[in-house]
A and B are shown apart, each in its own frame.
Chain A
Amino acid sequence: GAVVSQHPSRVICKSGTSVKIECRSLDFQATTMFWYRQFPKKSLMLMATSNEGSKATYEQGVEKDKFLINHASLTLSTLTVTSAHPEDSSFYICSAIPAEPGNFFLYEQYFGPGTRLTVT
């Protein structure tokens, strides 16, 4: 089956620093990737839709200058949390869809294993 990896799985950083999280589709090409964050005992909250070769689409309330998304290739999207604060501590999950943009909801989302970010 389709596999999505995330790196790192856990990261601890100090307030004010930036941290980059990678999301890779290992055995398929993904023109569309999604980034979610999840708080303890809560469901996933969509942050942004990452489209290969174009700017990401952010959900309402998500600061695009704080959460930088780069989808530079068909198998890699990165999320950079800039000037991290303790309230950014969360579980970040990406997903990828092996489909063309525009009809992504018809296809299966393959989720990565998640990245636990702790900001001290």
Chain B
Amino acid sequence: KNQVEQSPQSLIILEGKNCTLQCNYTVSPFSNLRWYKQDTGRGPVSLTIMTFSENTKSNGRYTATLDADTKQSSLHITASQLSDSASYICVVSGGSSASKIIFGSGTRLSIRP
């Protein structure tokens, strides 16, 4: 069964600290993995997209990693800001019919001043 699992479910850190969010998937065959940021009451916004051959991709203070062998991805946020408070969603595309887009349940990140 194609699944995407994220951890932790929620996370609270102090402003200025770093954090890492995890995403494990069982989607096969794999096409790509995306990380989205969703502010409360808004639609998701893309942060990074990674294909099978990519190990690391950065977007400002966001750095995503992908290990296609272990089917794990992480999103590292450096020097967190209050505006980073949001849900972060891992989305994996692929599947047996090569046409599935599977969403993780998200990690709710709260940055405290």
* B34 contacts across to A, CB distance below 8 A: 108
Would you call B31 and A43 a contact (CB within 8 A)? no
Residue of A nearest to B100 (CB): A105
Which of A43, A46, A95 lies in contact with B106, CB distance below 8 A?
A: A43
Would you call A44 and B100 a contact (CB within 8 A)? no
Q: In the complex, which range does the number of interface residues on chain B fall in?
A: 20 to 34
Would you call B43 and A95 a contact (CB within 8 A)? yes
Would you call B93 and A105 a contact (CB within 8 A)? yes
* A104 contacts across to B, CB distance below 8 A: 99
Number of A-B contacts (CB under 8 A): 52
- B81 sits at the interface (CB 8 A): no
Whether A108 touches B46, Cβ cut-off 8 Å, given contacts A42-B105, A43-B103, is: yes
Residue of A nearest to B36 (CB): A111
Which of A6, A46, A91, A114 lies in contact with B101, CB distance below 8 A?
A: A46
* B82 contacts across to A, CB distance below 8 A: none
Would you call A106 and B43 a contact (CB within 8 A)? no
Binding site for A on B (CB under 8 A): 31-32, 34, 36, 41-46, 49, 87, 89, 93-94, 98-101, 103-106, 108
* 16 CB < 8 A contacts A-B: A4-B43, A6-B43, A42-B106, A46-B103, A93-B43, A105-B32, A105-B94, A105-B100, A106-B32, A108-B46, A108-B49, A109-B46, A111-B44, A114-B41, A114-B43, A116-B41
- Taking A6-B43, A105-B93, A105-B98 as known contacts, 6 extra A-B pairs with beta carbons closer than 8 A to each other, sorted by chain A number, are A42-B106, A46-B101, A91-B41, A108-B49, A113-B42, A114-B43
